[in-house]
Chains A and B, each alone.
Chain A
């Protein structure tokens, strides 16, 4: 089973990214669960989304052993990393998470900066992160995640989101 946690602040679009990843897994015929946790605030505050992907029905609906942990703010890094193991892979937005920790397996990418530089706005950071997650986890194929993103985002933004996915996917080896 793949166990993935995406964290950041409310409004960064990480719950949406988690939903798209789970939808992509279902498109490939797999089982998937997405859940989230957030505070009572409408905006701001820390939030996390979790995605579980497996070939068989998943009972316990939460991450127990985080294989992949994405943090898009320092606060989320600190708040949601208590159960990381030495095998966990930590992916951070290197500009927004100055003090990553929890594992030696660290991937640092200027996710939000890439969005602003290449696409003009920080709005696409979540989709860049999604491309990056797909590359690192191999949870679904790049073609499937393209389809899943295209299905979810507003039609006028499909081209930019496809570009965002590619930027994320190619941001790591």
Chain B
């Protein structure tokens, strides 16, 4: 571990990405994500990397896809308005299987909304923002230290599964500073860029899936011929109109993530041993929820907490099992109610699921969540 220091969530996220091997950043500055671009502008050149501020948000992710195709681990960072603009190219990365990480430091929307105020209202956009069937990996850290760790995970998952990965920070965690001790380089596991296992003479095709269903297309400029497209394509990378190839492609894109779902579902349990009700929370809200749950426990209330890091793919089995263990589930989130509907679906009537939305541009107070815990406890006791 390094020496303890005060660090901002955005800064830790950027530092984690560089530690994971990111050597290219393209983007367009937007509050509350700008510190990530600033960090990259200062630090990427020091490690032989490249920072480019582009003319807009779309170009910002465009160059990141290009850099990734050319062999660089690449990342862009934005907030709501920019995240909306980047959606088409996120879909392109999904079907062309380009490893790329998109950080969305969520702020109050829709549109320009409240630029400096926190929100967690891009949960569904992260999942379904780009059109068409596609899997998605989205991770949401709740501490500054975890912003570093999540960045490493995101880069590794993007590379390993050749898929876009979204880091869903929120303004609370992105902008707060707290004490951190970061791991040293030798303590960090890095997934290397995948390379072709065959030469052209041996029958290399860029999009032939390996055993893990992920292809190993060559990086541009490494002597291989490669065709990259947003159209449905066969193993050669060239477009195909075949219904069976189309079906196989959509199935494989989903299955390469579905088969590792358990491995990439990260969450914490707190005070769950004899809990009768549970709070499910993520990001900055989870910190307040923890304070509320801890206080309710001290008052003798049998309440526990599940803190979710992996927002997508949804933690189906975790929530299904939770609903069997407790009578009531409270879902506080800084939006009008989004994640709660997934929890409700997984709970399938086994427990009462209650939404606690907040959308006035301010963070929850521990008392607000504490009061909702009391109300739910009274309700399920009847």
Residues of A within 8 A of B (CB): 19, 22-23, 26, 29-40, 58-62, 64
Residues in chain A near residue B367, CB distance under 8 A: 64
Is there an interface contact between A40 and B287, defined as CB atoms closer than 8 Å? no
Interface of chain A, helix or strand or loop or mixed? mixed
Is there an interface contact between A33 and B176, defined as CB atoms closer than 8 Å? yes
The distance in angstroms between the C-alpha atoms of A26 and B31, with both chains bound, is 27
| Given contact pairs A33-B178, A59-B287, A60-B287, A40 touches B116 in the complex (Cβ within 8 A) | yes
Other-chain contact of A34, B6, B294, B366 (Cβ < 8 Å): B6
Residues in chain A near residue B176, CB distance under 8 A: 33-35, 61
Other-chain contact of B288, A26, A34, A39, A59 (Cβ < 8 Å): A59
Is B115 located at the chain interface by the 8 A CB criterion? Answer: yes
- A66–chain B nearest beta-carbon distance, Å: 13
The distance in angstroms between the C-alpha atoms of A102 and B31, with both chains bound, is 32
Is B291 located at the chain interface by the 8 A CB criterion? Answer: yes
The distance in angstroms between the C-alpha atoms of A171 and B6, with both chains bound, is 28
The distance in angstroms between the C-alpha atoms of A58 and B288, with both chains bound, is 10
Other-chain contact of A40, B31, B172, B175, B294 (Cβ < 8 Å): B31
Is there an interface contact between A22 and B366, defined as CB atoms closer than 8 Å? no
Q: List 14 A-B contacts (CB under 8 A).
A: A19-B6, A31-B178, A31-B179, A32-B178, A33-B176, A33-B177, A33-B178, A34-B176, A34-B178, A58-B178, A59-B287, A59-B294, A61-B287, A62-B363
Is B378 located at the chain interface by the 8 A CB criterion? Answer: no
Is B42 located at the chain interface by the 8 A CB criterion? Answer: no
- B229–chain A nearest beta-carbon distance, Å: 40
Residues in chain A near residue B290, CB distance under 8 A: 59-60
Other-chain contact of B177, A34, A37, A59 (Cβ < 8 Å): A34
Is B5 located at the chain interface by the 8 A CB criterion? Answer: yes
The distance in angstroms between the C-alpha atoms of A34 and B178, with both chains bound, is 6
Is there an interface contact between A35 and B288, defined as CB atoms closer than 8 Å? no
The distance in angstroms between the C-alpha atoms of A31 and B180, with both chains bound, is 9
Select from chain B the residue with minimum beta-carbon distance to A29.
B4
Chain B 347-366, CB-CB to A under 8 Å as 1, else 0, gives 00000000000000001011
Is B284 located at the chain interface by the 8 A CB criterion? Answer: yes
| Given contact pairs A22-B177, A31-B179, A61-B178, A37 touches B116 in the complex (Cβ within 8 A) | yes
- B119–chain A nearest beta-carbon distance, Å: 14
Chain B 2-14, CB-CB to A under 8 Å as 1, else 0, gives 0011100000000
Interface of chain B, helix or strand or loop or mixed? mixed
Residues in chain A near residue B178, CB distance under 8 A: 31-34, 58, 61
- A35–chain B nearest beta-carbon distance, Å: 4
Select from chain A the residue with minimum beta-carbon distance to B172.
A61
The distance in angstroms between the C-alpha atoms of A40 and B326, with both chains bound, is 43
Residues in chain B near residue A31, CB distance under 8 A: 178-179
Is there an interface contact between B288 and A22, defined as CB atoms closer than 8 Å? no
| Given contact pairs A31-B179, A35-B177, A40-B31, A26 touches B6 in the complex (Cβ within 8 A) | yes
Is there an interface contact between B6 and A60, defined as CB atoms closer than 8 Å? no
The distance in angstroms between the C-alpha atoms of A58 and B142, with both chains bound, is 12
Is there an interface contact between B4 and A26, defined as CB atoms closer than 8 Å? yes
Select from chain B the residue with minimum beta-carbon distance to A35.
B176
Is there an interface contact between B175 and A59, defined as CB atoms closer than 8 Å? no
Other-chain contact of A38, B4, B116, B287, B363 (Cβ < 8 Å): B116
A26-B4, A61-B176 given; 8 more Cβ-contact pairs under 8 Å: A22-B6, A26-B5, A30-B179, A33-B178, A39-B116, A61-B172, A61-B287, A62-B365
The distance in angstroms between the C-alpha atoms of A39 and B115, with both chains bound, is 8
Is there an interface contact between A61 and B284, defined as CB atoms closer than 8 Å? yes
Residues in chain A near residue B287, CB distance under 8 A: 59-61
Is there an interface contact between A26 and B179, defined as CB atoms closer than 8 Å? yes
| Given contact pairs A60-B288, A61-B284, A23 touches B175 in the complex (Cβ within 8 A) | no
Closest CB pairs A-B (n = 9): A60-B291, A59-B290, A34-B177, A59-B291, A35-B176, A59-B287, A33-B178, A60-B288, A23-B6
**Which of B4, B178, B366: most chain A CB closer than 10 A?**
B178
Residues in chain B near residue A33, CB distance under 8 A: 176-178
Select from chain B the residue with minimum beta-carbon distance to A58.
B178
The distance in angstroms between the C-alpha atoms of A60 and B288, with both chains bound, is 4
